[in-house]
Structure 1
Amino acid sequence: MLKKGSRRASSSRGARIFSEDNSVHKFSRIKNPNLLEEDDDIYNTRNRQDQFLTNSNSSSPYNDRSSSSPMDKSPWSSQTNVSVPFEDNDDNSTPNVLMGSLVREEGHIYSLATSGDLLYTGSDSKNIRVWRNQKEFAGFKSNSGLVKAIVISGERIFTGHQDGKIRVWKVSSKDPSVHKRVGTLPTMKDCIKNSMKTSNYFEVRRRKNSVWFRHYDAISCLSLSEDKTFLYSSSWDKTFKVWRISNSRCIESVIAHDDAVNSIVAGYDGLVFTGSADGTVKVWRRELQGKGTKHFFSQTLLKQECAVTAVAVNPDTTVVYCGSSDGLVNFWGRENHLSHGGVLRGHKLAVLCLITAGNLVLSGSADMGICVWRRMGIDHTCVSLLTGHNGPVKCLAAERDDESASSGRPWILYSGSLDKSVKMWRVSENSPPVAWKGCASSAPIAIPSSLPAAPSFPAQSRVNGVQN
């Protein structure tokens, strides 16, 4: 659905300039239950997701590459056991707090993934870094550019890149801090073998052909099937591809949309959900055919003018969510045959990332904020608005906080931003609502107060297994 007051963009894919908020570490319970006013500057252009983030103005802080730090510098700003200073001192305060902020000025953060006690971060610096207990544990480097996506399956790490390739890494059995590249998708063997057949080529642009098993544009997202047998990759080339993990082969390519595919997620019962810059969310049904697999179009959940930028499915696979460039989050319930359940309103600019954790739904936005929603059945209540980043929030990852003594079912949330930082938050499923309920149809105007500045100290960093 279109947000009231939105407009269709012109055909030129112009850049946008993000204003930098001068306040830092702002976090508070929202007190004003009034609705957000319509904003003419809300992102509603039909475009690739990352083009909401580009800036033709070289003076933008997000385009400054001159401040790259040496590999051995890793400042960590830590903030623990902080009481959130509310303007009113009632006892109904939110337990969600900022725990720390990692700033390594070597590139914008585009991807995050967690595995046990490890955090993987990907950026446009070609580096993939591994963190343990807020200290740098390992690092490895690709010879490509931007690291757009990271997924982990056992000892293997899959990274999707701007050059359209998927790189496969494996943790050393002798030294867990060493990561070695063990392959690239598609493999060189498949490229040589299949490139000789003219039937493997199709036209991608005028007077330009490409083989069907290779992405010819940037990879936007990666997702594993439920049984971790297949890896899905979506791309700006309008397709998604299916890879069999056991032999690293592409077994299917689907021309899914009329514009860039910004997000893909494998759901339940062999269903796959894709979101695109063409403004649609589509459902695909996987069927096994002999040794291969075939995906059939099932239905379109959403068709709108503004781009779909993120798709997510909750852990018990009962709700499907999508974020859009107009700042809205739509959702559909499985019990009602994927009928539309409502709209979550909390952002004033494009939703850039979307994840679920337990009963929580978390959305990061170009407005530099993170909305935290708690789901109860089909109803959603906003329990936090997390602010503190000075750039668009590009990626999110969460893991259960097993070490916390709290009974509030806490999660550790990591947020990566184009301000070149990763922030670490503690969020709880039992948080009280900030000020309003029924957020599927309303949203507040929020001006959170500021947290005290966190103390900074240099962390002892270690980089191992760096590979060119």
Structure 2
Amino acid sequence: MQNNIMSQFGSKYNRGSEACNNRMSFEYNIASSSDQSSMSWRSIALLDHISEASSPWDQSSYSSPMTKSPWSSSFNEQHGGYSYTGLMGSLVREEGSIYSLATSGDLLYTGSDSNNIRVWKNQQDFSSFKSNSGLVKAISIAGEKVFTGHQDGKIRVWRVSSKTPNIHKRVGTLPTMRAYLKSTMTPSNYVESKKKNKSSIWLKHFDAISCLSLSEDRTILYSASWDKTIKIWRVADFKCLETIDAHDDAVNSVVVGFDGLVFSGSADGLVKVWKREFQGKRTRHFFSQTLLKQEYAVTALSVDPTASNLYCGSSDGLVNFWEMDRHLSYGGVLRGHKLAILCIATLRNLIFSGSADNNICVWRRDESKHICLSVLSGHTGPVKCLAVEQNEGQANLDQQLMVYSGSLDKSVKIWRVSVQVPTKSSQQSDGIYSPMKNSPFQSRTNSSRTSWNWN
């Protein structure tokens, strides 16, 4: 499958390092012709050297969304008493591919390669603010502060106005200019930048930000970067507390876990565990163990804190997971995608995986068994980001969830998802495939790792 993709789209993939040539960071980039010279070597050959105009996911045929609300609704209530899983709305703007999204209350934040961060409320355009730091690869929200991670390695900080909540004012950049200038005065603060072949200040990332993650109490921000490091920032004053030389290749994901653990996944194929410890007023992170070592790049991580489970997506299309009892132990693998996993989200016992195959798999964990409840189909490009919320307005039905998905097809979609195992009478046909209870999409454990036959 991977070789077929390479031959279909042309150029040979080159990781530019001495590690295995078939490990990929799978950070998909659709670049315009003016950006071609600055594209990272980490871009997969699938999208390498493809302009937006020639992209197989080009949405130029869509009419302009500016004359009316850009949200198009496909939701209907003609399902009787059956639980319903389906597409509620879709947004397509000519702003570029969607790389990141986050929710805060009734607000939805989306980031794209247009440099815009757009805010939506009740499926309406509520606000927007723009950075000059390149495409928006990550968004994380801590109260009134919004953190955005960018292609140029900068982290921007925005504050929501208490009087006018549709106004977002930029209040800082990580690292702060004062801290950066101070660090330049000390020679020991310089490190070698292999990408730029020159020395750089350790205080800042010198490659793209790939992921942002907040501690449970929202006081610490973790940033992962293609520069192979993880940085730890204090939210209160934006101070960089620590830098971890985490991996031998691009760090694609970092998530704050349970019991003081932090997990990182990289293009080097490793999943590492870091232990957070307090030393007086200082916080330090120490390497604990390596959970996974494989040929394929680790592309996404997500933690379910309620059950102390870790889920890991890879470029081979598999989702591996670990369970915490007295220690972390390997639980098995979920098989439901044809291509690379690009994002994972969890909410209690539900797991959502987005993939380069354009689909989203919805899994429910029952004790140690995982069942695929549905496959959400509707995107025409890779699904790059996910966010999940509880739907409070469905008290008369089974538990309902709202799922937001962003894609390289330039669209954001809203799905309503039922958590019930689908029955024959309740399956729908509007862009949803709902596998039955004995579906081959169910999880495989260590004792049963049979591959799904896609032919």
Query: Normalising to structure 2: TM-score of the pair?
Result: 0.84
CA distance in 2, matches of 1:147, 1:285: 29
CA distance in 2, matches of 1:114, 1:232: 18
Which runs of structure 2 are paired with 1:20-31 in the superposition (5 Å)?
none
Runs of at least 5 residues in structure 1 that lack an aligned partner in the other structure: 16-42, 85-90, 448-468
Residue 13 (structure 2) pairs with residue 13 (structure 1): yes
Match of 1:322 among 268, 289, 312: 312
CA distance in 2, matches of 1:79, 1:336: 46
TM-superposed CA distance for 1:113, in Å, is 0.3
2:204 corresponds to which residue? Answer: 214
Match of 1:182 among 171, 179, 184: 171
Amino acid at match of 2:146: I
CA distance in 1, matches of 2:366, 2:345: 16
Match of 1:46 among 21, 24, 27: 24
1:32 corresponds to which residue? Answer: none
1:414 corresponds to which residue? Answer: 404
1:37 corresponds to which residue? Answer: none
Task: Decide whether aligned partners of structure 1 residues 446 and 177 sit closer, same or farther in structure 2, where only a CA change above 3 A counts.
Answer: farther
CA distance in 2, matches of 1:229, 1:161: 21
Task: Decide whether aligned partners of structure 1 residues 74 and 194 sit closer, same or farther in structure 2, where only a CA change above 3 A counts.
Answer: farther
2:75 corresponds to which residue? Answer: 80
Aligned length: 411
2:128 match: secondary structure? strand
Runs of at least 5 residues in structure 2 that lack an aligned partner in the other structure: 16-20, 29-42, 423-433
Residue 120 (structure 2) pairs with residue 119 (structure 1): no
TM-superposed CA distance for 1:444, in Å, is 5.9
Residue 204 (structure 2) pairs with residue 227 (structure 1): no
Give yes or no for contact 1:74–1:103 (8 Å, CA) kept in 2.
Answer: no
CA distance in 1, matches of 2:143, 2:234: 15
2:181 match: secondary structure? helix
- 1:190-249 Cα offsets, whole Å, 9 max, x none, are 111111111101112274111111000000000001221110000000000000111101
1:49 match: secondary structure? coil
TM-superposed CA distance for 1:337, in Å, is 1.5
CA distance in 2, matches of 1:374, 1:275: 23
TM-superposed CA distance for 1:430, in Å, is 2.2
1:264 corresponds to which residue? Answer: 254
CA distance in 2, matches of 1:79, 1:334: 40
TM-superposed CA distance for 1:67, in Å, is 8.7
Amino acid at match of 2:443: C
CA distance in 2, matches of 1:111, 1:239: 20
1:193 corresponds to which residue? Answer: 182
Larger relative contact order (CA 8 Å, sep ≥ 6): 1
CA distance in 1, matches of 2:204, 2:379: 36
2:55 corresponds to which residue? Answer: 60
Task: Decide whether aligned partners of structure 1 residues 69 and 165 sit closer, same or farther in structure 2, where only a CA change above 3 A counts.
Answer: farther
- 1:68-126 Cα offsets, whole Å, 9 max, x none, are 96977752210112668xxxxxx997621111101112110000100111100000001
1:434 corresponds to which residue? Answer: 435
CA distance in 1, matches of 2:67, 2:162: 25
With 44-53 and 225-234 compared, the bigger mean Cα shift is at 44-53
Report the aligned-residue RMSD. 3.1
- 1:425-447 Cα offsets, whole Å, 9 max, x none, are 01122233722354224676689
Task: Decide whether aligned partners of structure 1 residues 141 and 282 sit closer, same or farther in structure 2, where only a CA change above 3 A counts.
Answer: same
CA distance in 2, matches of 1:406, 1:114: 25
Give yes or no for contact 1:279–1:304 (8 Å, CA) kept in 2.
Answer: yes
CA distance in 2, matches of 1:109, 1:158: 17
CA distance in 2, matches of 1:399, 1:383: 17
Match of 1:401 among 369, 391, 394: 391
CA distance in 1, matches of 2:351, 2:320: 12
Task: Decide whether aligned partners of structure 1 residues 5 and 328 sit closer, same or farther in structure 2, where only a CA change above 3 A counts.
Answer: farther
Task: Decide whether aligned partners of structure 1 residues 290 and 73 sit closer, same or farther in structure 2, where only a CA change above 3 A counts.
Answer: farther
Query: Normalising to structure 1: TM-score of the pair?
Result: 0.81
Match of 1:346 among 330, 336, 339: 336
Give yes or no for contact 1:44–1:350 (8 Å, CA) kept in 2.
Answer: no
1:193 match: secondary structure? helix
2:427 corresponds to which residue? Answer: none
Amino acid at match of 2:55: S
CA distance in 2, matches of 1:317, 1:439: 17
